[in-house]
Structure formats: structure tokens, C-alpha cells
Chains A and B, each alone.
Chain A
Amino acid sequence: DAGVTQSPTHLIKTRGQQVTLRCSPKSGHDTVSWYQQALGQGPQFIFQYYEEEERQRGNFPDRFSGHQFPNYSSELNVNALLLGDSALYLCASSLDLLTSAGEQYFGPGTRLTVT
């Protein structure tokens, strides 16, 4: 049973550029959440997707956007990159709330470095 997978593993971008990160959820999961983890901090919730729609959003600017595809995989897009966007980006998948209570499984993350 494949767990949550993310690509790429590492990424280096320049300020002002745009980046797309990808996530495939655990088999059978239909909900995908994205988190940003800055160095030495706990993960911070960016947003959550269910049925191809953004269901909930954290305190992140509109430069952060996402998408969920019919196969439940997801992308995180960040525009106009800032140095402060350097972080580990974690994807987590879960079952819909009707069948679970929020138990989320995390992927290994994508390490984004903005120079």
C-alpha cells in the first residue's frame, strides 16, 4: 500500500519565480492538506482540498494556490517567491470527515530553497 508521495524532493528557486509542488495521497484517501514547515518550527496549515475544491485555508497570502485532480492528487503553486518561502512543504492525506476524524498521513516533504 503506497503511502503519501511528493515530488520533487528538493528544489532551488530564485526570488520572484514560481514553483509547483506535487502530491499523491495514500491509497483510498480523498482529502489532501498542505503544510509549510520553516526551519525549527512546527508545520503551519496552508489549505485543504476535497472533491477538487479548496475546503479550508490557513493564514497564507493568495500567492499560495492549489489544485486537486479527479484522482485526488494535488498541486501546490507559489507565485512571486520570497526568501521567506524557503521551507519544507508537507502534504498530508486523509479520509473525508464523514468516515474519519482528522487522522492525517504525511509525505516526506519537498525542501524548497529560495535564493
Chain B
Amino acid sequence: AQSVTQPDIHITVSEGASLELRCNYSYGATPYLFWYVQSPGQGLQLLLKYFSGDTLVQGIKGFEAEFKRSQSSFNLRKPSVHWSDAAEYFCAVGALTGGGNKLTFGTGTQLKVEL
């Protein structure tokens, strides 16, 4: 069975500082990996995805993530954080099993941005 670990429950950064959110996954085959962002009381918005090919993927809002198979990681990065980036971030792995494509999510990382 697949699983996702997000080791950091809360992270606080200053506006303009760089950001890295950690994600480790467990999956027996080549994973499909995703990062989603959720603002309070809202649904999830897809930031970026990795299916295959280039291990550095670019997403919306200036985010990028790097897939490292040897470390089973898919960390999310942003060079300069904006106050509007404050939200909860979820890493997910897609499992193409049983004819379906369910997502398994981590517990999330709450990002706070200090002005």
C-alpha cells in the first residue's frame, strides 16, 4: 500500500525568504506525485505534478518540486515566498491499482508567512 509522510506539521517563513516543504512517499512502482494547496475552508488546488521524465517540475505560482527516486522524496520549493502563499500544503501519491487512480495524501504542512 502506498503512503505519504510530510514531516513538518507547521513551518513559518518570512516574506521573501525561500521555502522547502518536505514529502516522502512509499509506493512499489513508479509513482505519480502531486502537490496541492488548500486555503482555509476551501478545496484543493493542484500546484504541480510528476508523472515521468524530467525530475524537476514547474508548477503554478512560482513553485517547483524535485523527484528523487533514491530518497523517495518529492520536495516542494519556492525561491521567494509571498504573504499570499500562507495556506496548507498537501503532498499526494497516485496509485493506479484496481482499475482506479486513487490519491493518498500526507497529513499536510501548514505554512505561515511573517511580514
A interface list, Cβ under 8 A from B: 4, 31, 33, 35, 40-45, 48, 50, 55-56, 58, 90, 92, 94, 97, 100-109, 111
In the complex with contacts A41-B107, A43-B90, A43-B103, A55-B98 CB distance below 8 A: yes
Interfacial chain A residues near B100, Cβ < 8 Å: 48, 50, 55-56, 97
Choose the segment among B11-19, B40-48, B61-69 that binds chain A (4+ C-beta atoms closer than 8 Å): B40-48
The 8 Å CB contact of B46, one of A55, A101, A103, A107, is A103
Taken together as a complex, chains A and B put the C-alpha atoms of A21 and B97 apart, in Å, by: 26
Which residues B35-71 have CB closer than 8 A to chain A?
Answer: 36, 41-46, 49, 51
B42 engages A108 (CB within 8 Å): yes
In the complex with contacts A55-B98, A56-B100, A106-B43, A42-B108 CB distance below 8 A: yes
Count how many chain B residues have C-beta atoms less than 8 Å from C-beta atoms of the other chain. 28
B interface list, Cβ under 8 A from A: 4, 32, 34, 36, 41-46, 49, 51, 90, 92, 94, 96-108
Interfacial chain B residues near A50, Cβ < 8 Å: 100
Interfacial chain B residues near A111, Cβ < 8 Å: 41
Closest chain-A Cβ to B41's Cβ sits at a distance in Å of: 8
Taken together as a complex, chains A and B put the C-alpha atoms of A31 and B94 apart, in Å, by: 15
Closest chain-B Cβ to A6's Cβ sits at a distance in Å of: 8
Taken together as a complex, chains A and B put the C-alpha atoms of A101 and B103 apart, in Å, by: 11
Nearest CB to that of A54 among chain B residues?
B100
Interfacial chain A residues near B105, Cβ < 8 Å: 42-44
B43 engages A97 (CB within 8 Å): no
Nearest CB to that of A6 among chain B residues?
B43
A42 engages B102 (CB within 8 Å): no
- Beyond contacts A42-B4, A42-B90, A92-B103: 15 other A-B pairs, Cβ-Cβ < 8 A, are A35-B103, A42-B92, A43-B105, A45-B104, A56-B102, A90-B43, A97-B101, A101-B101, A102-B96, A102-B103, A103-B34, A103-B46, A106-B43, A107-B43, A108-B42
